[in-house]
Structure 1
Amino acid sequence: MTRPHGPVSTSARPAVTDPSAVTRPRNRKQLIVDAAGRVFSEHGYHAASMEKIAAGVGITAAALYRHFPNKYALFAACADVMTDRLVAALDEVPPGAPLADVLTAVTRVTVAHRASGGVYRWEARYLDRDDRRRLVEQFGRVVGRVDDAVQRAYARPDGRLRAVAALGAIGSITMHHTSIAQRRAEDLLSASALRVAATDPAGPRRKGAESVELPARPVPRTRRAEILAAAVPLFARDGFASVTNGQIAEAVGLAPSALYRHYPGKVDILAAACLQAARLLAQGVEQSLHEVTGPHDAVVALAATYVAYSFEYTALNSVAEAELVGLPADLRRPLALAQREHIAVWEQQLRLARPELDPRQARVLVHAGFGVAVEAGRALRWLDSPDHRDAVTALVVGALGL
């Protein structure tokens, strides 16, 4: 094409605009929140950076600050977004709808946003009081709606426990990376949650759930062990990043500098706690399966052991679950291996008990069982008693479809 002769009329020229404004999507803020949710879920609040989040959206960190003044403001938005989405989805379900419809609505939203949906579960402890209160209120609305549907379906006084446990089964998809098609995951988790809601937590004890013998609670007999024992409840209460060496040292009557004689750094104390948790759980599993015959009883024994471990070592387990992502790769590697080995035992026994499941389905259901144990235990405030252990074990077994 030839260029026209003479000056070009200014009225024919396109308006000069900011190139970034032309290509900036209208939902940029939502894209940022979704990307941030993925980064916070994957790396934890403190290890996440505005640069990582910006890279996930394809913008600069400076552009990110046009939408959010700081990392905390973005984090608070991420913590709210999943519960807001759940509330919105449930508002579209007609009042009095069947329980299956209510759970399907929750499942569809959770699976669609699984990569960013895990923020509320562990990282929400870093929220300020007012933001945490709002999150609790929103999640309470979700639980209340599911509880109403459970009560209509089964008319029992323990409906809220069943509702929370069913939501734990669904929410578990946000806490692992098992590759599974979205529709398959929705069907699997909806069915699991329905079974949980239908389970009588006070029903007869299942064969294989006999009294669980866990390894004895470690007695700190060395200064190193004392430091570890003192650090775990601090990490569980305040979060690893918020606990100082001074607090740990004070708890064992040491000067902060003296900690370095026993651990190179605070992160090594965290790694030792995670290793201790993995070791105690592995020993409990080995003992529980020692005299079990048949895969069905083996799965029930695994469920009873995991529940007993969760009640017995609540602080240690919560630290291992919540803080693993914050460990450097070299320290995380042996823990990830131990976790995979533990899940492989469950997967093998569950597939023997339910041959129709493929490996991915079995793995998703195993994690659903873990989610039930966590949320039901929380609902019971981790008050340890045989009745509570039996109730949560029954709900976990229900999630697995036995």
Structure 2
Amino acid sequence: MSIDPIAATRPRNRRQLIIEAAGRVFSERGYHAASMEEISAGVGISAAALYRHFPNKYALFAECANVLVDRLVAVLDELPGSADPARVLGAVTRVAVTHRAAGGLYRWEARYLEHADRRLLRAKFARVVGRVTEALEREHAEPGAELRAAAALGAIGSISMHHVSIAQRRVESLLVASALGVAGATPAPGAGGAARVELPAQPVPRTRRAEILAAAVPLFARDGFVKVTNGQIAEAVGLAPSAIYRHYPNKVDILVAACLQAAGLLAQAVDRNLGEVTEPRDALEVLAATYVAYSFEHTELTSVAEAEVVGLRDDLRQPLIRAQREHIAVWEQQLLLVRPELDPRQARVLVHAGFGVVVEAGRRLHWEDTPGHRDAVAALVLGALGLP
């Protein structure tokens, strides 16, 4: 009996290896920038072999989008219904950290799913949020358990949005503690407990270049950078498509300008509000309130900057990465003064956890900008940092 040498050496879990490799590529490069050739190379097979498992890139993407949330649902289904928040959040954290490299596609890239697939994914995530909410309601009598559950999951999910190198057990312990800090916070809407901050005024588009940028940002936020055409942007401004090129050589230049504007507005806000603050704890309260206010005030701009930066060339991305690192360094310095038991990497992980809280809590509140919502989310951020 003859044996096909290719079949004999083909690993039985090849489909799973493909999904893992694809999840990493989609997370790091974005859906549109990722290629089947790059994914197949990550598995060590030809593109033709990859197409034997998945007919096209979208089918592979949709599969990747479901795999991690299915793991979360499965691990929670294994727990007894009476499991406390620490056990529930610990189970979620282990899955998130184990599959850290592939988790980034959920925050922004899932918007490229077709409507039916996106609705299914949301239903699965709703089950995860619901299970955490139930655990919190048994443990804490305070209102707002669903908001705290979503925010706690945001703190955990933040591990996929950065590359801080830290041992798995160590980061799991840190993230569980952060998520429990969020879960135990009492963000009563309208409490007025957050620091009072001011933001720079939204730039008024006084030039044609600024008008183009202002028109492009909401389109990018709604449809994604790749799907928006120069013709759509020109129509929104009232220009002929060819006129765009007199102000921006190509569409990528508009995106870079949007990202730089987002970074500049945040830096100005931090400088303005931290000016007279001397105590580290007060500084963290101001930073949390500023970041929350900025995120609610400039939701479209910040979502574009965070979602689309992964698709930029390295040379275009570097100034934006430097700006982010400078911003995080301000938080890190103050957090280490308040919590000297942390090391710099732990502090950095917690700062990112705070950012993750803002994204998921903001989404849960539909980014409805009210003083009460800002106060509530700022309290959750402080909880993520381990500050009562």
TM-score range, shorter-chain basis? over 0.9
Taking the TM superposition and a 5 Å limit, the aligned residue runs for 1:154-165 are 154-165=140-151
**SS in structure 2 at match of 1:274:** helix
TM-score by length of 1: 0.95
Q: Distance in 2 between matches of 1:54 and 1:115?
A: 17
Partner residue in 1 for 2:32: 46
Alignment RMSD (CA, Å): 1.0
TM-aligned CA deviation for residue 20 of structure 1? 2.2
Partner residue in 2 for 1:232: 217
Q: Distance in 2 between matches of 1:103 and 1:266?
A: 42
Taking the TM superposition and a 5 Å limit, the aligned residue runs for 1:335-350 are 335-350=320-335
Q: Aligned match of 1:193 in 169, 172, 179?
A: 179
Contact kept? 2:187, 2:380, Cα under 8 Å: yes
Whichever residue aligns with residue 398 of structure 1, its letter is G
Please list the CA deviations of residues 158-184 of structure 1 after superposition, one character each: whole Å capped at 9, or x if unmatched. Answer: 100000000000000011111111111
Partner residue in 1 for 2:227: 242
Please list the CA deviations of residues 23-48 of structure 1 after superposition, one character each: whole Å capped at 9, or x if unmatched. Answer: 21111111101100000000000000
Q: Aligned match of 1:293 in 273, 278, 281?
A: 278
TM-score by length of 2: 0.98
In the alignment, is residue 106 of structure 1 matched against residue 92 of structure 2? yes
In the alignment, is residue 58 of structure 1 matched against residue 36 of structure 2? no
Q: Distance in 1 between matches of 2:149 and 2:265?
A: 30
In the alignment, is residue 74 of structure 1 matched against residue 72 of structure 2? no
Q: Distance in 1 between matches of 2:290 and 2:4?
A: 61
In the alignment, is residue 302 of structure 1 matched against residue 287 of structure 2? yes
TM-aligned CA deviation for residue 138 of structure 1? 0.3
Give ranges in structure 2 of 5+ residues lacking alignment. none
**SS in structure 2 at match of 1:172:** helix
Whichever residue aligns with residue 32 of structure 1, its letter is I
Partner residue in 1 for 2:315: 330
Q: Distance in 1 between matches of 2:338 and 2:269?
A: 21
Higher relative contact order (CA 8 A, sep 6+): 2
Whichever residue aligns with residue 60 of structure 1, its letter is S
Q: Distance in 2 between matches of 1:92 and 1:190?
A: 19
TM-aligned CA deviation for residue 202 of structure 1? 1.3
Partner residue in 1 for 2:366: 381
Q: Aligned residues, how many?
A: 386
**SS in structure 1 at match of 2:309:** helix
Partner residue in 2 for 1:263: 248
Taking the TM superposition and a 5 Å limit, the aligned residue runs for 1:357-372 are 357-372=342-357
Q: Distance in 2 between matches of 1:55 and 1:297?
A: 50
Q: Distance in 1 between matches of 2:186 and 2:142?
A: 9
**Percent of pairs with identical residues:** 75
TM-aligned CA deviation for residue 205 of structure 1? 4.9
TM-aligned CA deviation for residue 16 of structure 1? 3.1
Q: Distance in 2 between matches of 1:296 and 1:210?
A: 11
